[in-house]
Amino acid sequence: MKLSRRLAALIGLTIAASVTSAADRPRFRPISFQGLSLEPAKSFGADFYVDNHDRDPQGIDIFDVGFRLRYQAGARTEIFGAFIADRVVSLPEAPAIPSAPRDLIFVGPIVSIRNSFNGEHPYLDKRGRASFDAFIPGTATLGITRQFGDAAEGAVYGFSAAVVVPMAGGLEALRSGSSSGRPDAWFALLGSSEVLGGRVHARAGFTLTGKGSWPDRSFTVSGNTVQTVETKTPIGNRFDAAAAWIRPITDTVALGVEARMTKEFVGAERIDAISPIDVIVGIHKAFGKFTVAASLLSHFRALPSGAVRSNPLAGAIDLSNATLADRNAFLTRAGQGAVIGQLRDDAHILLVGSNTTGLPAGAKRVPATYTIRSEHNLGYVFNLSWRP
């Protein structure tokens, strides 16, 4: 009889322990995009992450180090923030089409000159700094998510909205790829549901982008009269979509498969624009209040490396690296002296449509063509989560 009672007690304790363990199991989250929290009310969480990925055009390599904070203010409301503390964007070579801001001096009528850049890094240039110890921050995001439904009962849906603010606005930081220099706002529909023994997370979002902080300027000279046209950097609004399937293997280990894509809506002012797709596969491992996730990333839909394109600035004279005195003397000799007082020292300065010879030291003619460079396209995502 005593043995039966002890056995019953042991079974009861085992069941209770199992229930507690299930309740305390970590909720594995997507690591490459912001999804539904699914956490209990009044809970707090924080992430440290590293996101390394490639982007076209220009074959750039992006290395973001940042933090995410989230607070479940109620059963259905989450407040979150994200901060890219250090952003390193590497260019394999100087852009074939000089980056904005550009001062374009036309011999003849002003015409529109198309540009080629990634909309999240529109001013990226070799004049910037691409090193981890430069400590150039990216953006800060503050937002709120409202959840509908109960994860215990099946599918959960939500709506999220956020403001994204650049944390560095100087031209050197923008040329290093920190941001566009202007705030963005995004809105997203979120969803989550149990599928095939794991949980699927999905997101579809739309970003209203700031239109850049450094416009191009175009000039044409007639005698002592200078006509000026200012053009905003053609940064398009963006649609993004992402999905993740996270399947627990044990109570503390899960397999994650994620995909994310971005579509920027651009017009005729931009060339070589492309919509990237990343596929991320990795392992999540929980250690008490911490969860570590390590994933490999492959970038699809890259531009065809080695393809030859016509340069819209073919034959233009790039005076950006000439000394101020040499540049001004050359422009005067080319009959463009009236524009000298309106040029910005920090801009790329190009003379378009001139046959003037005897270029000053540091100046060059823009080649007729350029070659697409898109290499490697592999990266990784690392995430360390803490849930007290």
In the chain, the number of structural domains is 1
Alpha helix stretches (DSSP H) within 190-295: none
Average pLDDT over residues 162-170: 95
Give me the amino acid identity at 149. Answer: G
The answer, yes or no, to whether residue 226 has pLDDT greater than 90, is: yes
CATH number at residue 266: 2.40.160.40
Using the 8-state DSSP alphabet, how is residue 177 labeled? T
SS3 13: helix
The torsion defined by the Cα of 349, 352, 358 and 360, in degrees rounded to 10, comes to: 0
Q: Work out the burial of residue 107: count CB atoms within 10 Å of its CB; fewer than 13 is exposed, 13-18 middle, 19 or more buried.
A: middle
Q: Which domain holds residue 308?
A: 2-386
For residues 286-310, average pLDDT: 93
Give the position of tokens 């690296």: 321
Query: Of 9-18, 142-151, 195-204, which has the strongest mean pLDDT?
Result: 195-204
Instruction: Report percent pLDDT > 90 for the chain.
Output: 76
What is the tens place of the pLDDT at every residue in 273-287? 989 999 999 999 999
**In the predicted structure, residue 359 carries a pLDDT above the cut 80:** yes
Residue showing tokens 């003379």: 351
Q: How far is Cα 51 from Cα 57, in angstroms, rounded to an integer?
A: 19
- Give the tens place of pLDDT for each residue, 256-268: 999 999 999 998 8
Burial classification of residue 383, based on how many CB atoms lie within 10 Å of its CB (0-12 exposed, 13-18 middle, 19 or more buried): buried
Q: Give the single-character DSSP code of 270.
A: B
**Tokens found for residue 360:** 């000053």
Contact 140, 80 (CB under 8 A): no
44: its two tokens: 């707090």
Task: Tell me how far apart the alpha carbons of residues 77 and 147 are, in angstroms, rounded to a whole number.
Answer: 6
How is 44-113 classified by DSSP, letter by letter?
EEEEEEEEEEEETTTTEEEEEEEEEEEEE-SSSEEEEEEEEEEEEEE-SS--SSPPSSEEEEESSS----
CB contact at 8 A, 236 and 271: no
CA–CA distance, 343 with 217 (Å, rounded to integer):
9
Tokens of 348: 């790329």
Helices (H), 107-245: 171-175
